[in-house]
Amino acid sequence: MVSHTSPPFLAGLYLGLSQAGYLLTLSRALSSAHLTYALVLGAWLAGAALGLWLAIAPRTALALGLTVYVAVQLTLTQLDFVAVSPWCFAPAVAASGLWSGRFFVTAIVGRTAPGELFARETDGFLVGALLATLGYAFAGRHALWVLPLVAGAALLRPRTQ
Amino acid sequence: MTTDAAWPRRADAAEGASAREPGPRGEVVALLLAGFCFGGGQQVLLREFAGLLYGEEVVLLLVATAALAAASLGYRLGGRLGPRALAALLLACGALQLLSPGLPRLAVAGLCRLRGGSGPELLAVLGVCAFVAAAPFAALLPALLVRQVEPHARLAALRRTYTAELLGFGLGTAAATALGDRPGLRLGLHALGLVGLVHVALGRPRWTLAFAGAAALLCAVRGPLAQAGADAVYRHKHRIPGATVLWSVDSAHQRVEVVQAPGRGMMLYLDGLRDLDERDLAVLNHYLARAPARLLRPARALLLGNGTLSLVPELAALSGELLTVEIDPAVVDAGARFFTPAAPLAKLRNWGLIAADGKAFLAATDQDFDMIAVDLPSPLTLGEAYLHTREFYALCRSRLRPGGVLAVQLSGGLGDPGRTPARLIAGLRAAFDDVAVVDSALADRAFAYASDALPFDEADLRASAAPGERGLTVLRGPALAARIGDAQPLTLDDLDLVLRRGAERLRDRHF
């Protein structure tokens, strides 16, 4: 039987890698000013909230978010510094955050208790955010599109249960 | 239908709690307030512990780790604790949060005093404070959801409550960040959120009244409590006898503190790291900008950093036009209040100030300069390290006029090729054709000047030594290459030094 519910730890890992990836890349290429941080957090939260209500298939939301994320990363990977407002990337960040809301909508009616669900997702998010920072510091900017792509592909892979 | 027997039904969950339960609207308000306090609490925790444990990237990661681990624990507790235990958790942690302006600082200072220095126990204080700041708020969402047994009801509850929590989190984070320079108002707003949450979530007017009374009292003593805590940290953790904190604000970027001590004058601390000491300022400014500007007489000069503005009056006099670009307005504010008299600045007609990230400014500007002086902290965070990379130096070069000079302070004396100064010199040599370094015994650090062709030589630099200099080494060309050996430049794709150095410092301080 094909499962449509993603494992919470892996979901959190992917989300942590993506959010930290946006923050690290935009801070490097555009600006390290507080606006960048506030914008990534605000757009991500807005996307996640929207994802709770939008009637879009979770896998579609995941594929959309991952595609947009990788496109942004590959574009900015080509550039060391660029004079573009961080606001231009707010829609992309929100699109990637969308799946966070869709994930919880799907998972909350599953077998995992709510507290355990949120806790495992948070554990994964923590590991993802740390991996993104370590990956960037030790392996460079390419780590920031490779790692989320691998995690996203693992989530998109059909699972049987 | 989900039938996990461990999940209490609504009626079961309410057993033992005589209080009124919030309805759907009450749940939304409760989660909005929980999110608000959660977001604000995280922001305060980050600033507090970046200041107490010192704001290297490793410490920022450690604080973020503690905060997320505490949230995870809170989620787990929310699904398992009964209503009474959750109420006790909220009341206890809420009261401790209202002591946050002084309690963590006094705890850290007290432990340092007992040990006679920093130790690993300070990390335990971080763990406890992270739990207090996150756990009671994280616990509420699963505690509400677990009561909904029917999938449709649970999904509907998730949508309304989690949306409210996300919205509240964003608002709480934004408010705590915006009010960092008004800590009294920030605490008052947080206290209001907590009182509202206690009222809505617990539904017991007497508890609300008692909590509101305690909150009002703690808000009233915030000022003296915060001052006592801040002074104690500088006296017992930084070990500066008689230190008094004259000014302390949380900007969006860091905690900015001005400290005064007998025999030391005034010092500026950014996230607990000493940025400058009034005693060292003159010699630091001399080599970073006064000496090259006297030799160069730039028509147009750019200062990146130097938020204290201490270089501005003199450099403006030596330049046709001068522009300062500083990322943190709170540092400029501290500079104007304590380090640079405002009157001479107000009279300057050839000086401008822009609040921006240096690299973003340089990437966007079409201006070019005869001299760029980079006055930045050591590369201890990624944000600072970007401005010490080979790529950034290349960007600076692209904004220099022919014969223009980039001046950089190297965050230490010339040493091992693996250490920061040698790596910064390697970056400069990769981006520029001509680099000279002066290593000053008086300044206890080295400075570099880079250009496509430096308009001054070693003899000029020796003749420009600061008054009272005890020993100046000037290196250029092959001598400089030999001195730094095989040092590798910092690049945007090779910033592990930031984490390695931060980890070293953290280990040396605490283990």
Chain A nearest-CA residue for B43:
A38
Which value, to the nearest 10 degrees, does the dihedral of the CA atoms of residues B127, B133, B138, B140 take? Answer: 130
Least confident of B331-335, B338-342, B422-426, B467-471: B338-342
CATH fold for domain B239-276: Spermidine Synthase; Chain: A, domain 2 (2.30.140)
Q: Is the pLDDT of residue B431 over 90?
A: yes
Q: Give residue A43's identity as a one-letter amino acid code.
A: A
What pLDDT, in 10s, does the model give residues B173-182?
A: 999 999 999 9
Taking residues B405-411, report their average pLDDT: 95
The verdict on B70 touching A (C-beta cutoff 8 Å) is no
pLDDT tens per residue across span B88-103? 999 999 999 999 999 9
pLDDT of residue B278: 80
Task: Tell me how many degrees the CA angle B69-B73-B74 measures, rounded to the nearest 5.
Answer: 115
Interchain contact, A52 vs B162, CB within 8 Å: yes
- The predicted-structure confidence for B198-219, as pLDDT tens digits, reads as follows 999 999 999 999 999 999 999 9
- Asked if B395's CB is within 8 angstroms of A80's CB, the reply is yes
Of A81, A105, A141, the CB nearest to B395: A81
Question: Across the interface, do A113 and B4 touch by the CB < 8 Å criterion?
Answer: yes
- How does pLDDT run across B260-285, given as a tens digit for each residue? 999 888 999 999 999 888 878 889 99
B168 inside 8 A of chain A by CB? no
Of B415, B97, B51, B416, the residue nearest B238 (C-alpha): B51
pLDDT at B16: 43
The answer to whether the CB atoms of B386 and A129 lie below 8 A apart is no
Residue whose C-alpha is closest to residue A15's, from A135, A124, A131: A124
In B154-243, the DSSP E strands lie at: none
Count, in order, helices (H) and strands (E) of chain B: 22, 12
pLDDT at B131: 97
* Segment holding B75, helix H or strand E: helix B57-80
What angle do the packed helices B83-98 and B121-145 form, to 10 degrees? 140
pLDDT top residue among A84 and B346:
A84
* CB contacts, 8 Å: A48 with chain B: 166
Tokens in use for B423?
């790596």
Task: Tell me which residues of chain B, numbers 486 to 505, contact chain A at a CB-CB cutoff of 8 Å.
Answer: 492-496, 498-499
User: Tokens for B342?
Assistant: 């405002």
Residues 6+ apart with CB under 8 A from B173: A41, B39, B40, B42, B43
What is residue A161's predicted lDDT score, i.e. its pLDDT? Answer: 53
Report DSSP letters for B228-275, one per residue.
HHHHHIIIIIS--TT-EEEEEEE-SS-EEEEEEETTTEEEEEETTEEE
Asked if the domains B10-226 and B279-510 are classified in one and the same CATH topology, the answer is: no
The mean pLDDT of B172-201, rounded to a whole number, is 96
User: Hey, are the CB atoms on A126 and B69 less than 8 Å from each other?
Assistant: yes
Q: What is the CA radius of gyration of chain B?
A: 27
Q: Using CB atoms, which residue from A27, A82, A110 is nearest to B383? A: A27
Q: Please name the residues between 5 and 24 in chain A that touch chain B, using a CB distance below 8 Å.
A: 24
Distance from CA of B467 to the nearest CA of A (A): 37
Separation between Cα atoms, residue B236 and residue B106, nearest integer Å: 10
CA B116 to chain centre: 26
Are the Cβ atoms of B6 and A113 closer than 8 angstroms? yes
Residue of A nearest to B147 (CA): A114
Distance (Å) from the C-alpha of residue A29 to the closest C-alpha of chain B?
8
Query: For position B281, what pLDDT does the model report?
Result: 87
Picking from A82, A141, A142, the nearest residue to B363 by CB comes out as A82
Token pair listed for B141 = 């969402």
Q: For chain B, give the mean pLDDT.
A: 92
Instruction: Indicate which of B146, B357, B361, B381 best probes the interface with A, i.e. most A CBs within 10 Å of its own CB.
Output: B357
Helix ranges (DSSP H) in B365-403: 382-385, 390-398
Which ranges in A54-142 belong to alpha helices (H)?
A: 58-77, 90-107, 114-139
Strands B273-277 and B265-270: antiparallel
Interface of B with A in 145-164 (CB under 8 A): 145-146, 151, 154-155, 158-159, 162-163
Say yes or no: B386 contacts chain A, CB-CB below 8 A. yes
End-to-end CA distance of chain A: 6
Q: Where are the domains of chain B?
A: 10-226, 239-276, 279-510
Give the residue ranges of chain A where pLDDT is below 70: 1-5, 159-161
Inter-chain CB proximity A118 and B169 less than 8 Å: no
Kindly report the pTM of this predicted structure: 0.93
pLDDT tens across B15-41, in order? Answer: 444 456 678 889 999 999 999 999 999
Interface of B with A in 342-371 (CB under 8 A): 356-357, 359-360, 362-364
Q: Which CATH number fits domain B279-510: 3.40.50.150, 3.30.70.100, 3.20.20.70, 3.40.30.10?
A: 3.40.50.150
| CA-wise closest residue to B170 among A39, A101, A61, A11 | A39
Pair of tokens at residue B477:
């060309």
Name every chain B residue with its beta carbon within 8 A of the beta carbon of A45: 166-167, 169-170
pLDDT at B1: 34
Chain B residue with minimal CA distance to A140?
B493
In chain B, the percentage of residues whose pLDDT exceeds 70 is 96
Facing A81 at nearest CB: one of B72, B73, B363: B363
pLDDT at residue number B433: 97
Q: Are the beta carbons of A160 and A2 closer than 8 angstroms?
A: yes
Q: Decide if B278 contacts B267 (C-beta within 8 A).
A: yes
Q: What pLDDT, on a 0 to 100 scale, did the predictor assign at position B259?
A: 97
Q: CB-CB: which of B57, B145, B495 is closest to A114? A: B145
* Residue B490 to chain A, least CA–CA distance (Å): 11
Q: Is A91 on the interface with B (CB under 8 A)?
A: no
B128 close to A (CB below 8 A): no
Domain range B10-226, its CATH number among 3.10.350, 2.40.10, 1.20.1250, 3.40.1130? 1.20.1250
How far, in Å, CA of B132 to CA of B96, rounded? 7
Question: How many angstroms separate the CA of residue A74 from the nearest CA in chain B?
Answer: 15
**A window 93-112, beta carbon within 8 A of B:** 101, 104-105, 108-111
Chain A residue with the nearest C-alpha to that of B390 = A80
Query: Which chain A positions have a beta carbon within 8 Å of B61's beta carbon?
Result: 130, 133
- Provide the token pair at B140: 């509420």
pLDDT of amino acid B424 = 96
Partner residue opposite A116 with nearest CB, options B71, B79, B327: B79
Q: How many CB pairs under 8 A join A and B?
A: 160
Tell me whether residues A140 and B492 touch, CB distance under 8 A. Answer: yes
Owner of token pair 């409760």: B30
End-to-end alpha-carbon separation of chain B, Å? 52
Tell me whether strands B351-355 and B321-326 are parallel, antiparallel or unpaired. parallel
Which A residues in the span 45-74 are in contact with B, Cβ-Cβ below 8 Å? 45-46, 48-49, 52-53
Q: What is the pLDDT of residues B140-171, one digit of tens each?
A: 999 999 988 899 999 999 999 999 999 999 99
A104/B76 Cβ within 8 A:
no
**Pairwise CA distance, residues B396 & B431, whole Å:** 9
Q: Kindly list the residues from chain A whose CB atom is less than 8 angstroms away from the CB atom of residue B70.
A: none
User: What is the average per-residue pLDDT within B238-250?
Assistant: 96
Write down the pLDDT at residue B88. 95
Task: Please report the pLDDT score of residue B20 as a whole number.
Answer: 60
What's the pLDDT at B423?
95
Determine the distance from the C-alpha atom of residue B48 to the mean position of all C-alpha atoms in its chain, rounded to a whole number.
9
Distance CA B409, CA B403 (A): 20
The answer to whether B244 and B261 are in contact (CB under 8 A) is yes
* pLDDT above 60 (res B10): no
Find the length of chain B: 511
Cβ atoms of B272 and B55 closer than 8 Å:
yes
Question: What is the full DSSP assignment across A141-159?
Answer: TTHHHHHHHHHHHHHHS-E
User: Does B22 contact chain A (CB < 8 Å)?
Assistant: no
Residue labelled with tokens 């070293």:
B504
Q: Residue B35 and residue B171: Cα distance in Å, rounded? A: 8
